[in-house]
Structure 1
């Protein structure tokens, strides 16, 4: 750190310390200010220049150093100087102090942060150059964050301080006026009965209503800015145009049609999206066939010897495709047109926030809509791996076209898709090697959960390579050549072990990337996040008020039910947002990995709780204690419940074992509706069922929190009943 920065830091620390050591923070209370008001008024009458100058300087000092008490100083200014002069003095003082705070943050931190996080900050600064002034204005008008946070954060950007000053001056003016007026009314109190005066009540009602009024003002301003940039249609063909007919787009269309809105649904490929055609449905059909093969192999444990199953892989894939065809009518064009949705085949591109150009076999047409919902989904991501383009790569998209079982399958990626497909192919007879860059499989799960899956995969013959980095692909050079994946792994000794994994087919399952290209969003100023997903707010609205997004294209959870959850919020907020908006909440969002043992989770796990600094208590119940699990010979796994320390409120649940996803539903219901473990324990569960694991886990929590003192008293009472009365 430079000497100049050290001097600035030392000065700031000294000033802040002096503020708190002097007791100024304790003196700045409403009661003290009211008690001293008469002295201030007398002083102001004698020497107005000193009082006004001193007040102005103190206010600037407090705002510049982000010290507490600004709200009370604003009330005091209203009481001392009245609405007119108070508004002028405080408006300029607060804006000048905010600009100094931004300047201090810029001098101390911007340089080092830009050197370390240059790509990320460049994206932010690009947005600041384009929409920075209006964004700052909305933050000032509707303070989602404390003003001192806005000052410090905006100081780290490339916004000009002159722009920062005048936007802050303008944006804070309405709120300052409301508080100054409230201070003027408080200053006029001469008795407790004055609290019920219409002026004071009106001032505080205005404070309460101001955020809503400001939000309405910002909405109108945004619409006018859009109307100036683009030619807004005088009338619209549709209320909503939905781009993409995957799980998110279908749910959005269904909801909009159900409330009698006019909806158009545009899809360039197949209705049903990944879930129906390449994801949930085909993968679960494959997993079921592979699980049946594993059950036949292990049937001897139950006294039934069926021998080694004969795998007809073409028949397995026929079963997979049959399952897709049977589910297909649920997502068909005929069904949605019957619901009143206009279904169109073609590629969609936004010409402006209200016009969607659809290009298909029948030519082009432009649809106008009050709102556009982008639900274009995602596709498998291919890593930048030398030699990968020289072999035919399998992904979760094209895997279902296989008709022959690969003898050697290498799976790159140890997330849910890699683990599910890798285990299934191993059970069907492939020799599977699974390569994972991280230190565990299923990186979002706790280590004990991931270890359970790894141990089962290894028992079933899957070679699991953890902390192993793929380096390149070496295609076979001759007719009988062998394709190889070259990978490196760091050993405990510090040496690098190089492995050459031979494969007949290579499955890449390292994640998915959002489908945002070709939609015209970038030209309209709709930004993407660092991971490539569309940037939206907590209501799923983009920077353009008429453009919304849901599903895999915006994340953060690429799950069918998460997409449906988001689609409800995006559609309802688009149609009825002028009256009420709903923030999307992921607190009780469940997720299941369909390996064996199955892995299911809702809410926080231990890893996430530690990262977020949330205190928790763990209750663990082993399925080896469950009668149904013992009877079926499926004792592998556990139920792990995280609760608030000393309370039965559920923070999260992780389940490993047979039917984990089904068992999770009761916990998900409990978290959604605020039901604690005590009430789950008091619920009757049929015996013997897997659902009893829920009650058993709640019972373990209850046993760990039993009232020992009360039980001790009860022991004494019963002893007295047994012995005391007889002796009497």
Structure 2
């Protein structure tokens, strides 16, 4: 890649040098064009195809290389071809040249710039993906901005070249028409400044700014039109009403109360939400019980023989409920009222942007508030599968009421929830079949992480059905009775085969659906996205300026810590947004799947980096090399870190293995505060610990980037000091691992 860039640079330099050395730049003056106008028109009359083709090609080259003189060529085109043909020829030539200029800038500089300023450019590219065409169009309309600068700058972004082309074609048309039209009077022009008068430039500026002004005015008008339908209160009872007492709602309420705002929290069910009652806490308690069973089952490899564990499922579920009760005070009404939050039990519905009606046990009450934060969470998604209505399905919501261990359990969905619960039930004694429509488990993770987990699940006895589509639920024809899940598995040949998986219980774990109904949001114009989450901007504000959303109802990550992260932003932006807004960043957001081995990641995966066109290096360290892992007999897994090529700055880290979620915290800290692998390598880690894997990974990266030339000089220097020849010197043992580069 570097050689191709160097060759391209040399070619471009040669062309530009030839342009200036030939004196072409001196020939392209207004006086020369006026003097040669008659001769040009004679050439056109004699050989129109050659003149038009040569003019078109020369114009494209001039624009592509950002050479001076394009304005004069436009005037000449107007003089030679007239307004109609001149506008047609020059419009396409200038757009094609501009696109080539953007492509040249992209080829030469985008890669190095993205490696150096990945974080800054990612934010810019996010804006380009959303509204890049709009920005480019307005810039093209304003002749105050040199077009060649726009070509080069936009070329460094991730805008599609086709988008760049057609937007430039339209945006440059008015300015091109002015110059082509002026070229018809080429002989009478005294200077280029006569083409664009101050008044005309001002008109173009207004034209260019009009889309921005119109867009802002439309947004303001839309919000005021919505607000005008309702009577704004003269005073407010509260600064913030928070709807939903899950992770996001609790954090938002706490933040608001901590800065002495008056806040009320409305919850229709139980405080703590899914995390406490049906998600994080009960699932981890169940996972712990299943790991104990597996430890007993595998104790023989440590010389301890305990036999097959006897699982009392009722006692296991009692342990789960006990964990919920012990954590419950952290999210209790008493605690939050002690923090200054007023807590109301009931259903909340927005009457207008400032009034919230709460229908609870004590009747109906209307609250007036300056801001509303929607934190209503999500619920398990149930697919429209034929036959599903005939059975009682299990979800992550009602699973915890099970009284008996299912003998045959089918899990629908190979994401984190399906894998965690499927492995747990298999270890407790269920025969588990897991069905996943995609080609791998954990679709968001890289193949190596998913494959490591797949091997372990198969060892635990799970029957995995990947690349398999659930078709319907049917009565089981076997003597056992019950029901079966009919599935269609894709074969390598492209054909499909149908199977029936009998079950006692079916666990549906295919994702979660945002809770948006019943709150009056649709009537107020608060929109939802295609995935059902509320449409909010990067500051978590909805179309109504005082209605915000955070947590699972806002997406895109349905994680407890992501909800808390968003809740801080929603509360602070609601209370202080007039002074400063904070955009939510997910760059260093960690995620953990609590299977065994655990699968943890922060930042980019390899797949995401390739999809975004980001160059990266991969450094991999196998936990089989870690002394603590060897001592504990838990050597499966690895640490994988993505860095900027040639740099130690971390783009992402994946950890698969024992306690991966705990080990990931060091990489999350490093990414959050801009610490590179050199800093991790220079940090003393206690021996023997799992955390040494982070330092060892940094050591692998350092070894791959050691200064070989300097080390060669040092080797000769020390040989000279010893009075000996360095040949045959023994090389010390190095940490095993690998670093490889991946260009986008």
In structure 1, how many angstroms separate the alpha carbons of the residues matched to 2:59 and 2:519? 55
- CA drift of 1:226 comes to 4.0
Matched, 1:448 2:448: yes
Match of 1:473 in 2: 473
- CA drift of 1:494 comes to 3.7
Tell me the secondary structure at the aligned position of residue 421 of structure 1. helix
| CA shift in 2, pair 1:721/1:479, >3 Å | closer
In structure 1, how many angstroms separate the alpha carbons of the residues matched to 2:351 and 2:55? 53
In structure 2, how many angstroms separate the alpha carbons of the residues matched to 1:374 and 1:284? 27
| CA shift in 2, pair 1:17/1:334, >3 Å | farther
| CA shift in 2, pair 1:15/1:641, >3 Å | farther
Query: How do 1:352-363 residues align onto structure 2 when only pairs under 5 Å count?
Result: 352-363=352-363
In structure 2, how many angstroms separate the alpha carbons of the residues matched to 1:258 and 1:218? 36
Matched, 1:520 2:559: no
Match of 1:117 in 2: none
| CA shift in 2, pair 1:32/1:459, >3 Å | closer
Match of 2:567 in 1: 567
Match of 2:62 among 13, 23, 31: 23
Match of 1:297 in 2: 297
Mean Cα deviation higher: 234-243 or 18-27: 18-27
Mean Cα deviation higher: 255-264 or 359-368: 359-368
- CA drift of 1:495 comes to 3.4
Match of 2:722 in 1: 722
- Quick check: 1:385–1:472 contact (8 Å CA) kept in 2? yes
- Quick check: 1:249–1:375 contact (8 Å CA) kept in 2? yes
Query: How do 1:143-542 residues align onto structure 2 when only pairs under 5 Å count?
Result: 224-475=224-475, 481-542=481-542
- CA drift of 1:482 comes to 2.3
- 1:373-411 CA-to-partner distances (Å, cap 9, x unmatched) read 111100000011110010110000000000111111110
- 1:646-684 CA-to-partner distances (Å, cap 9, x unmatched) read 111111011010000000000000000110001100000
- Quick check: 2:282–2:324 contact (8 Å CA) kept in 1? yes
Match of 1:675 in 2: 675
- 1:596-644 CA-to-partner distances (Å, cap 9, x unmatched) read 0011000011111111111111111000100000111110110011111
Q: TM-score scaled to structure 2, two decimals?
A: 0.72
Match of 1:702 in 2: 702
- CA drift of 1:229 comes to 3.4
Match of 2:549 in 1: 549
Tell me the secondary structure at the aligned position of residue 346 of structure 1. strand
| CA shift in 2, pair 1:415/1:338, >3 Å | same
- Quick check: 1:469–1:488 contact (8 Å CA) kept in 2? yes
Tell me the secondary structure at the aligned position of residue 723 of structure 2. helix
| CA shift in 2, pair 1:27/1:507, >3 Å | closer
- CA drift of 1:476 comes to 5.1
Match of 1:607 in 2: 607
Query: How do 1:67-78 residues align onto structure 2 when only pairs under 5 Å count?
Result: none
- Quick check: 1:19–1:25 contact (8 Å CA) kept in 2? no
- CA drift of 1:689 comes to 0.3
| CA shift in 2, pair 1:233/1:65, >3 Å | farther
- Quick check: 2:411–2:422 contact (8 Å CA) kept in 1? yes
- Quick check: 2:476–2:502 contact (8 Å CA) kept in 1? no
In structure 1, how many angstroms separate the alpha carbons of the residues matched to 2:97 and 2:267? 54
- CA drift of 1:15 comes to 13
- CA drift of 1:217 comes to 8.3
Q: TM-score scaled to structure 1, two decimals?
A: 0.73
- Quick check: 2:598–2:658 contact (8 Å CA) kept in 1? yes
In structure 2, how many angstroms separate the alpha carbons of the residues matched to 1:596 and 1:16? 68
- Quick check: 2:56–2:90 contact (8 Å CA) kept in 1? no
- Quick check: 1:222–1:545 contact (8 Å CA) kept in 2? no
In structure 1, how many angstroms separate the alpha carbons of the residues matched to 2:220 and 2:410? 56
| CA shift in 2, pair 1:584/1:14, >3 Å | farther
Match of 1:628 in 2: 628
Query: How do 1:63-142 residues align onto structure 2 when only pairs under 5 Å count?
Result: none
| CA shift in 2, pair 1:551/1:16, >3 Å | farther
Match of 1:74 in 2: none
- Quick check: 2:393–2:505 contact (8 Å CA) kept in 1? yes
- CA drift of 1:526 comes to 1.4
- CA drift of 1:287 comes to 0.3
| CA shift in 2, pair 1:18/1:212, >3 Å | closer
- 1:343-366 CA-to-partner distances (Å, cap 9, x unmatched) read 111111112211111112222222
- CA drift of 1:21 comes to 2.1
Tell me the secondary structure at the aligned position of residue 501 of structure 1. strand
| CA shift in 2, pair 1:14/1:484, >3 Å | farther
- Quick check: 2:57–2:93 contact (8 Å CA) kept in 1? no
Tell me the secondary structure at the aligned position of residue 562 of structure 2. helix
For structure 2, the 5+ residue unaligned runs are 1-51, 99-133, 146-152, 175-192, 194-209, 727-744
In structure 2, how many angstroms separate the alpha carbons of the residues matched to 1:212 and 1:254? 38
In structure 2, how many angstroms separate the alpha carbons of the residues matched to 1:479 and 1:354? 61
- 1:676-722 CA-to-partner distances (Å, cap 9, x unmatched) read 00110000000000000000000000001111100111111111111
- Quick check: 2:245–2:272 contact (8 Å CA) kept in 1? yes
- Quick check: 1:390–1:475 contact (8 Å CA) kept in 2? no
In structure 1, how many angstroms separate the alpha carbons of the residues matched to 2:585 and 2:599? 22
Tell me the secondary structure at the aligned position of residue 236 of structure 2. coil
In structure 1, how many angstroms separate the alpha carbons of the residues matched to 2:723 and 2:478? 93
Tell me the secondary structure at the aligned position of residue 573 of structure 2. helix
In structure 1, how many angstroms separate the alpha carbons of the residues matched to 2:652 and 2:62? 43
| CA shift in 2, pair 1:257/1:14, >3 Å | farther
- Quick check: 2:60–2:93 contact (8 Å CA) kept in 1? no
Tell me the secondary structure at the aligned position of residue 393 of structure 1. coil
In structure 2, how many angstroms separate the alpha carbons of the residues matched to 1:660 and 1:628? 14
In structure 2, how many angstroms separate the alpha carbons of the residues matched to 1:364 and 1:714? 82
- CA drift of 1:487 comes to 0.7
| CA shift in 2, pair 1:655/1:232, >3 Å | same
- 1:447-468 CA-to-partner distances (Å, cap 9, x unmatched) read 1101111111111111011111
What is the number of equivalent residue pairs in this alignment?
A: 591
- Quick check: 1:391–1:475 contact (8 Å CA) kept in 2? no
Match of 1:595 in 2: 595
Matched, 1:658 2:691: no
- Quick check: 1:409–1:506 contact (8 Å CA) kept in 2? yes
Tell me the secondary structure at the aligned position of residue 373 of structure 2. strand
- Quick check: 2:374–2:547 contact (8 Å CA) kept in 1? yes
- 1:68-125 CA-to-partner distances (Å, cap 9, x unmatched) read 99xxxxxxxxxxxxxxxxxxxxxxxxxxxxxxxxxxxxxxxxxxxxxxxxxxxxxxxx
- Quick check: 2:600–2:660 contact (8 Å CA) kept in 1? yes
Match of 2:616 in 1: 616
In structure 2, how many angstroms separate the alpha carbons of the residues matched to 1:226 and 1:479? 62
- Quick check: 2:63–2:97 contact (8 Å CA) kept in 1? no
| CA shift in 2, pair 1:703/1:153, >3 Å | closer
Match of 1:711 in 2: 711
Match of 2:685 in 1: 685
- CA drift of 1:20 comes to 4.6
In structure 2, how many angstroms separate the alpha carbons of the residues matched to 1:608 and 1:64? 36
| CA shift in 2, pair 1:622/1:27, >3 Å | closer
Tell me the secondary structure at the aligned position of residue 317 of structure 2. helix
- CA drift of 1:227 comes to 3.5
